Amino acid sequence: MRQRGYLLRTCLLLAIQILQTASFSFGSLSFWGAHRRSKKTLAMTSQEIDMHNSTLIHPPLFDLDSSLSFSLDTVQDESRRVAFERLVATISSLGGEIVSDTIALEKEGQHVVHVNSLVFQVTGSDPILLVVPNTDKVSTTRVEELLADERITDVRLAPADIVEEVCGFPPGSVPPLGHSPTSMRTIVDEQLLNVDTLWGGGGHPGLSSLIKTETLLKLEHVETADIATRSTDAVNSDSINVNYSFMQRERPPKPFFPVAPPPWAMAEKCCTNKNTPNPLKPIPVTIIGRITGVRQMAKRLVFADLAPAHHLLDSEDDRPWRSGLDGKEMSVQLIAGKTLCEALGDTAGPAALRHLKRGQLILVEGKTNVGNRDSLRNWVDKQSLDIVVFSYKVLEEGMTTVEVSPSNIQSNTELRRLQLAASVPPPLSPRPKPPSPESKRRSSSYLSLNDVFPASDDSPTVTVVDSIDSVYEFATKISHLLLSLTTGDTANGEANYASEGIAVPGLDKVGLIGMDCEWRPSFLAASPAEPQPIMLLQISVHPIKRVYIFDTQALFRPLLNPSETMTELECAASQTLVDVFSSQRLIKVGFQLGADLRRLASSYPHIPAFRLFEAVVEVSSLAKKAMQLNKERNLKYHTASLARVTEFLLGKTVDKAQQVSDWAIRPLSEEQIEYAALDAAVSPLLLEKSLQMANAGIITANASRSSSFLQVGRFEDDTMYNGAVISWRFFLLDTNEPAAIRKLKAKRIVGDPYVVTQRWDTGGKPPMKPSVPSRQGEGPYTDVFGVFRMPSKLVRITSGKDPATLVDHLVGHRTGRSKEKCVDSLLTGEAALPNGAKVELHQRSGYVEFADGVALFVNMPDKSYKRGYPNEWLDDGKYMTWYLRKSDWNDGASYLAQKLIQSNQKESESPSVTVLFVRMPKGIFLCCGRCRAIVNKTEVPQDETVEGVHKTGDWGLVQVRLQLLDREKLQSSDEFVSMVKEWPDGRGTVKSSVDGNELLTKDDSDKPAKNAIAEAVLSGNIVGGLSLAVEQASIPPEKRSIKAGLLTLRQQLANDASENAAKALHALLQVDGDS
C-alpha cells in the first residue's frame, strides 16, 4: 500500500508537470512574467516547466531534464506541439515508444544503439535525413557518390536555424522517423542493419525514441547505405555491444536554468565600477528543485544551494545547472531572509527559515538578485546566481526512490487522460516538517486547546457559528452569562469565572472574553493590492470554557458601503455581537487586539456591531507590567509575540504554523480550527496569570464615582495600570480629502475606506465624535480625542483687547514648555474660542499665525552644538536674529511678513501684534513681550558654509531682526537678563547701540544714503528713491530698467534696519501692484 501511494503521487506530479507544458515555449528563454499566473491558481509556466526538467522523484518515466514545454501563444509553439503528437502517434503505431534518457540507458545489453539523426541539405533536391551511430560521423563524400546518379554534387549539414522548419523538431531532438510536415527521405548507415533497436531523438530535449531497426527499414522513404566515417575499426555484429555500449554514453545534459542569468560582461562592469548605474532588473522566478546545502547566516537569514530534483545529494558537482545565455555550467543559491519574513510575518517567517533542510524537494517563488552588487560579484566570480525567496512549499522532505513502470504511461492518449485528471497544485505556503520522533518528543512543549479547556463529554469545546441557528445558540449562552453577572448570581450555573488554580480578585464580577481574528495571508492573494477582509472571528467565552468561531465569510458580506442594508442573518449576528462588544461586564482580551478590531471594522463597514468595543484589555501590556514588577529582563523579547508571552507565563509555546494557511478555503481543516480556537482561548488565561503574578485584580466598583467604573490594578487608582482597560470606536470617512485624512489620523486598512480610530478609558466619558474639517480641510473640526480644533488663522488674539497691553501680564514670566501653553496664555480673559476648543498648531513650525497677529517661538542654541543659523541676542537684548524660510518671507510681501512688519503700529490699517517667546535649551518658554521685524534682512544661500558648518537644503533662509518693544519691562526680569548674558555683545554682527532705537551694523557706512532713499519714498518721490537705489547699487547703465530699479529699491529698503525704511517698504509694496 505504501508503494502504491508513492506510485500514485508520482503519477500525479508527472501529470501536473506535463499538463503545465501547454503554456510554455521551450525555444525561448525569455521571462514569462508578462503572462504570469495569479497565485490563487498557480498555473505553472515556463520557469516551473524548465526547472521541472528533472523535478520528479527519481527515477521517473521521463527524466525531464528539458521537459515537455509547449506554449499555444505562438504559431511556432503550436507547430511543435502538433509535431510531437504526430511523432508519438507514429512511433506508438509501429510498436516503438517515447522514453526518457534514463530509461534508454537502462536498455544496455539488448542490442540498442544510440544514433544521431542529422538533416543535410543537397543541391537540386529536398533535404535528407542521415541516421548514423552517435560515435561516428557522416561521410559527405560517400553520400555524394551515392547520389551522383541524381546529379547531386553538394551535400552539407543543414544550419541549425532551419532544421526545425524542415523536420518539425529542434536540433538535438530530431527522431529517425515521424517528421513533420511530411516524411523525409532517410538514409540509414548499413552497419546498423545488425542492431535490434535504435535509440534516437524523442522530438523534445530530454526524451528519446526507441524503435526496432527492421520496423524503420520497412518504411517506404527509408533506405540503407554506407555513409559513416568509422571512428574505430569496422563494425560487425560481434562488436556492436563493444563499440556502441551504453557505458560510452555520457550522462544526460544538465538542465537549463529557466531564467537567463545576467550577461557576464555587464555584471562584471557593474561590479568593478560602483559609479556605473546598474541597468539589470530583478526577474521573478518560480522553480522546483532539490536543496543540497543549507547555511544559517543569521537569525533571519538562510542561504541554500538549489539543484535539479534528480541531483544526488552526495554529488561533487557544484554547478548542476546550465546557463541559458551560453550553455555554461552554473549554480543557484537561494537567499531566504527579510523578504520571506516580511511576507509571512514575525512568527511564521523565522519558522519557515528553520524548516529549510538539506534534501528537501521544494517549490520556490522568488526573484533574481541582480540589483545587488554583491550578488553580481557572486555571479562573476563563481557563476552562482542568487535568488531572493518570496515563499516556498515543501513537496518532499527527503530523497525518495519510487519505482515507476513505463507501462503506466505508454501513449499520448494516456498523457492526455492524466492531464485532465490532474489538479493544479495549491498556492505556495510554507508548511512545517512532518513529525519525526524528535519532533514528537518536543510536541509536548506546544500548548493545546485541552490545556486551556479540558475536553468535555457532554458538549463540544469549539462551535463554528455559520448559520442563524448557531447564532441563536451563541446569543442564548451570552444572555445567561450577562444575567448572572448583572444579578450577582455567579455561584450557580455552568459558569466558572476563573481558571482552576488561579485566584484573582474581582474575576467573579466580570466575564473574560478572548478574541482573535484570522484573514488570508497577503502572499496568497492574486496581487498585493487585493483586499483581505477578516475570514474568522474567534470568541472564547472563558467562564463557560467554550470557543465560538464566527465564520464571517458565511455570516457577513465584506467591503460594502456603510449605508448598505443588512440581511436577516447579518442583523441577527450583529445584534448578538453588540451585546458582547458593548458590555463593560465582559472584558475582551487579546494580543494586539486593537489592530484586529480596526481591521474588522474596515472589512465589514455596514455592520454596526464592529463600530464600538467596550472594556478591551491588551494582554501583552499587562504581561509586561507584571514582568516589570517582578524585575524580569528582556521584556521586549518576551512580549514581542503571543507565542513568547505564552511560553514565558505558561511554560509552553503556541505552534503558529497554521497562521499562514489559507483561511478562505472551506471547510476548515481540523488543524485550522484547533489553532484558531487556541489563539482566542489562551488570552484570558494569560491575563489571569499576569494579574496573579503582579498580585493585582479587577476593580469593578468605586463609591466615589457616580459613573460605572472598571479598573485593573493592585489597588484603586493604581497609576501603573492607567489605561489598561480601554474602549475603541471606529468611523469610516466619507471623503478622500488629504487634509481630513491627515488631521483625523485616518488609515486605510482593508479596501478603499479610511478608518478613524478613537479610544478612551472604559468607564470614563466618551470623547466627542470626530468631524471632518470644513473649508476643504482648513476649517474647524473635532479631532480623534474629541477636542474641537480651530485653525490658528481663524482665531483673533486681540479680540476686545488693547494690543499695546495684550501681554503686559505675561512679559518676563514663564508660560510653559509647549507652544500650546503659550498660546493658551494669550487667549485668556475674554473668550476668543468656544468653550473647550483648542487652537490647531503646527508643532514643528517656529511661529503660529493668527488672524490678527503672530506668536514667535525661538529656541536658543546649545553652545555645545554649533548651528549654522543660530538665534542671537543683539545690542544687550534690544534685538534678536530670527530665521524663516525664504518662501514664507517672499521678499517681505507675504501676509506673514506684513504682519511682522506692521506689528504694533497704530497707524496701520490692519493693526496686528507679534509676541515673542524664547527659551533656553530644554527650558521653559519666557514671554519677551511684543516685537516687530525691522526688515534688516539677510538671505542665507541654499548651500553655503556658515562658521565652518556646511548647510545644504532645497530651500533658503532669510534672517529677520526682531526689535523688542517691551524691553524696559523685561529689564526687571532676572530670567531675561540671565538669558541675554549668555550671548554678550560682539557675538553677532552688531557692536553697540547708538540711540537705543537704531541698529548700527559693520557695513552701515552708507546709512545716510539709505535714509535718503527711505525719505524720498515717504515723500512720494518714488522715482528719486529709485534713482538713488540704482546709483548706490552701482548698476551699469546698460542694465538699468524700471523693473530692475524697483527690485533694487525694495532690496535696499529691506536691508535697512531703520523705522523709516520699514514704513517706506510698506508704502512701496502697497503702490506696487505686482508685489
d(C-alpha 958, C-alpha 888), whole Å: 9
Are 47 and 287 contacting, i.e. CB atoms less than 8 angstroms apart? yes
Is pLDDT above 90 for 622?
A: yes
Return the residue matching grid coordinates 530535449. 205
Each residue's pLDDT tens digit, 297-333: 777 889 999 998 877 777 777 888 887 666 778 889 9
Helix (H) / strand (E) containing 839? strand 838-840
- Of 595, 485, 592, which is closest to residue 542 (Cα–Cα)? 485
Instruction: Render 961-982 in DSSP notation, one character per residue.
Output: EEEETTHHHHTT-HHHHHHHHT
* Amino acid letter, 964: L
C-alpha cell at 548: 465560538
Alpha carbons within 13 angstroms on the beta-carbon side of residue 903 total: 29
Return the residue matching grid coordinates 474641537. 788
Each residue's pLDDT tens digit, 660-692: 888 999 999 999 999 999 999 999 999 999 999
Are 25 and 77 contacting, i.e. CB atoms less than 8 angstroms apart? yes
**Among residues of the chain, what percentage have pLDDT more than 90?**
27
Task: Using pLDDT thresholds of 50, 70 and 90, give the confidence band for residue 81.
Answer: confident
Each residue's pLDDT tens digit, 951-988: 434 447 888 889 999 999 998 898 899 888 876 443 33
Q: What is the pLDDT of residue 437?
A: 43
Is pLDDT above 60 for 371?
A: yes
- Of 16, 780, 72, 145, which is closest to residue 421 (Cα–Cα)? 16
Each residue's pLDDT tens digit, 869-893: 678 888 888 999 888 888 888 888 8
Q: What is the pLDDT of residue 1011?
A: 74
User: In sequence order, which ranges of 73-201 are alpha helices (DSSP H)?
Assistant: 75-93, 101-105, 140-146, 160-167
Mean pLDDT, residues 725-749 taken together = 91
Are 371 and 278 contacting, i.e. CB atoms less than 8 angstroms apart? yes
Return the residue matching grid coordinates 541554500. 304
Is pLDDT above 90 for 101?
A: no
Each residue's pLDDT tens digit, 980-993: 887 644 333 333 33
Cα dihedral across residues 268, 269, 275, 277: positive or negative: negative
Task: Using pLDDT thresholds of 50, 70 and 90, give the confidence band for residue 1009.
Answer: low
CB atoms within 10 A of CB 697: 19
Q: What is the pLDDT of residue 859?
A: 87
Task: Using pLDDT thresholds of 50, 70 and 90, give the confidence band for residue 836.
Answer: confident
Is pLDDT above 70 for 280?
A: yes
Mean pLDDT, residues 806-815 taken together = 89
Return the residue matching grid coordinates 478562505. 664
Q: Which one is predicted more confidently, 849 or 180? A: 849
Radius of gyration (C-alpha) of the chain in whole angstroms: 42
C-alpha cell at 715: 489597588
Pairing of strands 222-225, 185-189: parallel
Q: What is the pLDDT of residue 870?
A: 73
d(C-alpha 708, C-alpha 950), whole Å: 60
d(C-alpha 534, C-alpha 577), whole Å: 15
User: In sequence order, which ranges of 872-998 are alpha helices (DSSP H)?
Assistant: 886-889, 895-902, 967-970, 974-981
Cα dihedral across residues 105, 108, 110, 114: positive or negative: positive
SS3 515: strand
- Of 129, 26, 36, 45, which is closest to residue 84 (Cα–Cα)? 26
Task: Using pLDDT thresholds of 50, 70 and 90, give the confidence band for residue 760.
Answer: very high
d(C-alpha 23, C-alpha 35), whole Å: 9
Packing angle, helices 412-421 and 75-93, rounded to 10: 120
Are 627 and 737 contacting, i.e. CB atoms less than 8 angstroms apart? no
Q: What is the pLDDT of residue 93?
A: 82
Mean pLDDT, residues 500-508 taken together = 80
Cross-strand bridge partners of residue 1007? none
Task: Using pLDDT thresholds of 50, 70 and 90, give the confidence band for residue 556.
Answer: very high
Is pLDDT above 60 for 1062?
A: yes
What ranges make up the beta strands (E) of 341-442?
361-368, 384-396
Task: Using pLDDT thresholds of 50, 70 and 90, give the confidence band for residue 787.
Answer: very high
Which residues are CB-neighbours of 776 under 8 A, at least 6 positions away?
Answer: 737, 739
Mean pLDDT, residues 455-462 taken together = 69
Each residue's pLDDT tens digit, 16-71: 444 433 333 333 332 233 333 333 323 333 333 333 333 222 233 333 333 344 43
Mean pLDDT of the chain: 76
Are 752 and 736 contacting, i.e. CB atoms less than 8 angstroms apart? no
Q: Which one is predicted more confidently, 539 or 340? A: 539
d(C-alpha 210, C-alpha 203), whole Å: 12
d(C-alpha 294, C-alpha 313), whole Å: 12
d(C-alpha 1049, C-alpha 1026), whole Å: 6
User: In sequence order, which ranges of 25-137 are alpha helices (DSSP H)?
Assistant: 46-51, 75-93, 101-105
Are 465 and 474 contacting, i.e. CB atoms less than 8 angstroms apart? yes
Are 839 and 827 contacting, i.e. CB atoms less than 8 angstroms apart? yes
d(C-alpha 379, C-alpha 365), whole Å: 20
Q: What burial letters (b/e) apply to 315-344, b meaning 16+ CB within 10 Å?
A: eeeebbbbbbeeeeebbbbbbbbebbbebb
Are 227 and 135 contacting, i.e. CB atoms less than 8 angstroms apart? no
Q: What is the pLDDT of residue 701?
A: 66
- Of 387, 382, 69, which is closest to residue 259 (Cα–Cα)? 387
Which residues are CB-neighbours of 450 under 8 A, at least 6 positions away?
Answer: none
Are 993 and 876 contacting, i.e. CB atoms less than 8 angstroms apart? yes
Q: What is the pLDDT of residue 457?
A: 54
Is pLDDT above 60 for 377?
A: yes
Is pLDDT above 90 for 918?
A: yes
